[in-house]
Chain A
Amino acid sequence: MAGPIELNRTAHEHAAALRAGRYTARALMEATLALVRQQEASLNAYITVAGDEALAQADAADKRLREGEAGPLTGIPIAIKDLLSTRGTLTTAGSRMLGNFVPITDCTVVTKLRAAGAVFSGKANLDEFAMGSSTEHSAYGATHNPWDPERVPGGSSGGSAATVAAGGVPIAVGTDTGGSIRQPAAFTGVLGLKPTYGRVSRFGVVAFASSLEQVGPFARDAEDVANLLGAIAGVDASDSTTAPVPVPDYTADFGEGFDGLHVGVPVEFAGDGVEPGVRDAVERAIAVLEANGATIDRDVSLPSASAALPVYYLIAPSEASANLARYDGVKYGFSVHDAPTMWDEMEQTRGRGFGDEVKRRIMLGTYALSAGYYDAYYLKAQKVRTLIRREFEQAFAGHDLLLTPTTPSVAFKIGEKMDDPYAMYLNDLFTIPANIAGVPALSVPCGLSDGLPVGLHLIGRAFEEGTLLRAAHAYEQHTDWHTMRPPAVV
């Protein structure tokens, strides 16, 4: 085990090295934690960086490796978005409200990751309660983009994306409610997948918008995304919204290339508002697909997709207004104790414990559900949602994939959109429809615009993540954008 460990590798490369005995999981984790701590000064990608418990996890992984019982994730460092409950480890959801909250139970995804032998590098930073697109709305400070520390990494899973992009860890998990995995993946030049709704258990994931969100992988190539998804997916008796659909080997179709793939490029996503640099990168990617066997159809239309954003901003805040009602300072978390009455205590706890964006969305949701407004807002949003779902179904009748840019622009400057919530919301214009329709979608690095990463957005049929990953893998055979690293970190 001579020489320093090369950390700039994928999980499957590490796994091969671990199995070959070139280094131990403990050595890998020690090196990982050293690098992560060093990067924290400039990135602030974590709310909690793991301590000795990670080394104990690594030792257990080494034991499994020695006993020949290792899987693809055994001994692999992974960052966990701080929205996922970890038993015995602080879980803040990026909020002051949960600043002292230590869960008594693991979320199902963490249980599965532990069972797979993955080693946790820490709890990654996020927008408070996953509400945001820049990770600036964290009570623990903004995360910086490794490509340019003056820019945001996207959000809400910005910490997970940044630590993978910076080479701190090969893989991470985040959550995606309206683009919270795919948009930061695009902004930081890594892959990020939002699985089909019901594919991955939400049990133990601090809830923001229950009917929209999914846990999903960040990684630096399709194979790692496939392995990580395989490890966390599956029906869960503790989450009644998970589907009893078998979990396939998501690498099974790797090697089949683009042959026979029908790819639709919806007209609604190709138009205005997309930066020229982003458009150029995506067009070049389309050309690669077309040149290598895919059929491109630019005559696809999702007319209701333009309504996805307003639908999202009615449904998500409505669900959030109820999901966040439990934070009243009575049971756990932040609490104001010196107010004259119980009601004052609850009011002040929430007033001081929540940040502005969270309060904005709670008010929005409370309003949308109120007597006299319910039919006009929440109910109507649900009807439009059904319409959007149907349009996706129709589009998928003739296409295996839909393709758009992941975001209209590359990573923006920290502070640039903080005073304009609507401009911030527009970031998720292309990612939100997949959440509304419940279908899987993947962001793949496809180029640079002004030196900043651009994401290619592939949307698939429900429970056909394998097709997305097959296409991403094929794309990696023809381009090397997935291997690009931020200049400062290489």
Chain B
Amino acid sequence: MTTKTDYEAVIGLETHVQLKTRSKMFCRCDRDYFDAEPNTHVCAVCLGMPGMLPVINEQAVAFTILTGLALGCEIPQHSKFDRKNYPYPDLLKGYQISQFDQPLCVGGGLDIEVDGEASFVRLERIHLEEDTARLLHRDDGGGGGSGGSGGGQGYSLLDVNRGGVPLMEAVTQPDMHSSAQAVAYLRKLRLILRYLGVSDADMEKGSFRCDANISLRPRGQEELGAKVEVKNMNSFRAIQRALETEIVRQSEILDARDTVAQETRGYIDATGETVSQRSKEEAHDYRYFPEPDLPPLLTEPAVVEELRTQLPELPDAKRARFQEQYRLSTEESRVLTESRRRADTFEETAGHSQPERARAVAHWLIGDVTALLHQVSADAELDQTKLTPAHIAELVDLMEGGTITAASGKEVLAAAFESGEMPAAIVEAQGLGRVDDEGELGGIAAAVIEANPKAVTDYRGGKESAIKFLVGQVMRETRGRSDPNSAADALHAHLDAS
């Protein structure tokens, strides 16, 4: 794109995270409705029946505070819930219980890195609320044509399974300046939430949802431009594209000396465009007021300190420790800390092996083991297979100790993945022990020399690369049970002697 002026994008994100509690936010319904039949996880409370009252889910409060602590937020002693009023059929009480001016967590933020450039995204707040029900719009003409939201002859179905699920909203300051930074922030936030175990944070399942506020200003200008809220982005790719599209759209408006309208726009995945949904004038007046059905929340400092002790080691700290303790590369530590389970698998495996072999453990986990896991699913972990950390450690020890070659290692791993048998037993049963008997290897080398006169001539003619071919032949004869260096030594012994 080419724009006349050099603009700086200013981006803030609002992320809604469904918490992985046992029950819903204000009733006892099972929170986990994934794959459930519509309207099976409901009760009089979350259906908004007359006279029903909310009861605060303590686990959701604890999860939110835990998240706040992980992100360096302040946890005020006094917090409260408020009613956010707006009429829509997906809101069964006609208001949402949310938090207005006294959220559970204030401030904080997280470090991100894009192309080697580090920055800090400040959080404004994290608050707790309840999710809305799901409206499924149908246009097949059935359903008596009632309930259509204007326009077509469609109708809508209401599924209240999601209604009342605990929803945590993290709001950033406008601290990001590119779509890449926005995505980096979201990936980092998702990683931390998963480490904490407070959410699946799965965009596809809707447990991690993001809206963006974006404005443009000429680089160097202090004052912010008109803010556009972009909604309906359902993947990291969608967020990236939507923000890039929006930056271009706003640049073009500004270049044309026009003004950007302050509005809400929806992202259309099929076209990659954003379209206007609601102007500033049409914005809701939510008429917040304190929820009279719930007492104010009092968070004692002792409770906060107790939760602080429950904080696990977070990704950044773990990554740094892996580099330091196991001498891993930045990239190796990053890959191994992409999930808490993977990191735990690594540490357990390394623990079964010798300290100096940790790097080899990392190498095998990241390479061949990951390739096998991908056969299970894109995000499979070791505990979904027949392999255990003990398998991997034994395999690495067999290779590092010289019992088998790396080539045999791959074969043993594949066999263990299939059967669950221990690597040593597989080596024993299949005779995969490394050929290191000089006599046996010498005999094979002699046979290979005998069988490949042209290569031998080439080698003797000064063509050093011919030796590689001969090494390959020795490897083939031993089915990988010899290592290339020993094979070369044996060949040289024969060739250079005669």
Interface residues of A (CB under 8 A from B): 84-85, 91, 93, 98, 101, 103-105, 107, 202-207, 210-211, 237-241, 318-319, 321-322, 324-328, 330-332, 337-338, 341-343, 345-346, 366, 369-371, 374, 378
Chain A residues with Cβ under 8 A from B47's Cβ?
331
Structural contact, A210 and B50, CB atoms closer than 8 A: no
Complex partner residue of A328 from B49, B89, B148, CB under 8 angstroms: B89
Complex partner residue of A326 from B94, B148, B158, B295, CB under 8 angstroms: B94
- B150 CB within 8 Å of chain A: yes
Structural contact, B94 and A203, CB atoms closer than 8 A: no
* B266-286 to A contact mask, C-beta < 8 Å, 1/0: 000000000000000000010
Structural contact, B51 and A202, CB atoms closer than 8 A: yes
Chain A residues with Cβ under 8 A from B288's Cβ?
369
Which of B32-59 touch A at CB < 8 Å? Answer: 44, 47-56
- B462 CB within 8 Å of chain A: no
Give the nearest-CB partner of A338 in chain B.
B146
Structural contact, B51 and A207, CB atoms closer than 8 A: yes
Structural contact, B54 and A240, CB atoms closer than 8 A: yes
Report if A325-B85 is in contact (Cβ < 8 Å); known contacts: A205-B51, A207-B51: yes
- B469 CB within 8 Å of chain A: no
Structural contact, B53 and A239, CB atoms closer than 8 A: yes
Structural contact, A345 and B147, CB atoms closer than 8 A: yes
Structural contact, A326 and B44, CB atoms closer than 8 A: no
Structural contact, A342 and B53, CB atoms closer than 8 A: no
Bound Cα distance A366, B83 (Å): 13
Structural contact, A374 and B289, CB atoms closer than 8 A: yes
Structural contact, B150 and A342, CB atoms closer than 8 A: yes
Report if A238-B93 is in contact (Cβ < 8 Å); known contacts: A342-B148, A343-B150, A369-B287: no
Chain A residues with Cβ under 8 A from B295's Cβ?
240-241
Bound Cα distance A374, B285 (Å): 11
Q: Is chain A's binding surface mostly helix, strand, loop or mixed?
A: loop
Structural contact, A203 and B287, CB atoms closer than 8 A: no
Complex partner residue of A210 from B44, B55, B147, B293, CB under 8 angstroms: B293
* B85-102 to A contact mask, C-beta < 8 Å, 1/0: 101010011110000000
* B138-155 to A contact mask, C-beta < 8 Å, 1/0: 000000101111100000
Complex partner residue of B292 from A211, A343, A374, CB under 8 angstroms: A211
- B294 CB within 8 Å of chain A: yes
Report if A322-B51 is in contact (Cβ < 8 Å); known contacts: A240-B294, A241-B293, A330-B158: no
Structural contact, A207 and B289, CB atoms closer than 8 A: no
Structural contact, B89 and A337, CB atoms closer than 8 A: no
Closest approach, in angstroms, between the C-beta of A313 and any C-beta of chain B?
A: 15
Give the nearest-CB partner of B149 in chain A.
A342
Chain B residues with Cβ under 8 A from A202's Cβ?
51, 53
Closest 3 CB pairs of A and B: A325-B94, A210-B292, A369-B287
Of the candidates B51, B144, B285, B293, the one having the most CB atoms from chain A within 10 angstroms of its own CB is B51
Q: Is chain B's binding surface mostly helix, strand, loop or mixed?
A: loop
Structural contact, B44 and A101, CB atoms closer than 8 A: no
Closest approach, in angstroms, between the C-beta of A177 and any C-beta of chain B?
A: 12
Which of B147-192 touch A at CB < 8 Å? Answer: 147-150, 156, 158
Pick 11 A–B contacts, CB within 8 A, sort by A: A103-B50, A207-B293, A240-B295, A318-B289, A319-B292, A322-B94, A325-B95, A326-B92, A328-B87, A331-B92, A370-B287
Closest approach, in angstroms, between the C-beta of B96 and any C-beta of chain A?
A: 10
Structural contact, A341 and B54, CB atoms closer than 8 A: no
Structural contact, A346 and B87, CB atoms closer than 8 A: yes
Structural contact, A98 and B289, CB atoms closer than 8 A: no
Give the nearest-CB partner of B45 in chain A.
A238
Structural contact, B148 and A341, CB atoms closer than 8 A: yes
Structural contact, B50 and A101, CB atoms closer than 8 A: yes
Report if A237-B55 is in contact (Cβ < 8 Å); known contacts: A105-B49, A369-B85: yes
Give the nearest-CB partner of A366 in chain B.
B287
Closest approach, in angstroms, between the C-beta of A178 and any C-beta of chain B?
A: 15
Bound Cα distance A443, B228 (Å): 59
Chain B residues with Cβ under 8 A from A331's Cβ?
47-48, 92
Closest approach, in angstroms, between the C-beta of B88 and any C-beta of chain A?
A: 9
Bound Cα distance A220, B486 (Å): 107
Bound Cα distance A91, B44 (Å): 14
Structural contact, B50 and A322, CB atoms closer than 8 A: no
Report if A325-B50 is in contact (Cβ < 8 Å); known contacts: A240-B294, A241-B295, A342-B150: no
Bound Cα distance A206, B50 (Å): 5
Give the nearest-CB partner of B55 in chain A.
A240
Bound Cα distance A238, B26 (Å): 10
Structural contact, A240 and B48, CB atoms closer than 8 A: no
Give the nearest-CB partner of B295 in chain A.
A240
Chain B residues with Cβ under 8 A from A85's Cβ?
49-51
Chain B residues with Cβ under 8 A from A98's Cβ?
50
Chain B residues with Cβ under 8 A from A84's Cβ?
51
Bound Cα distance A132, B293 (Å): 22
Give the nearest-CB partner of A336 in chain B.
B146
Chain A residues with Cβ under 8 A from B285's Cβ?
370-371
Closest approach, in angstroms, between the C-beta of A260 and any C-beta of chain B?
A: 35
Which of B421-455 touch A at CB < 8 Å? Answer: none
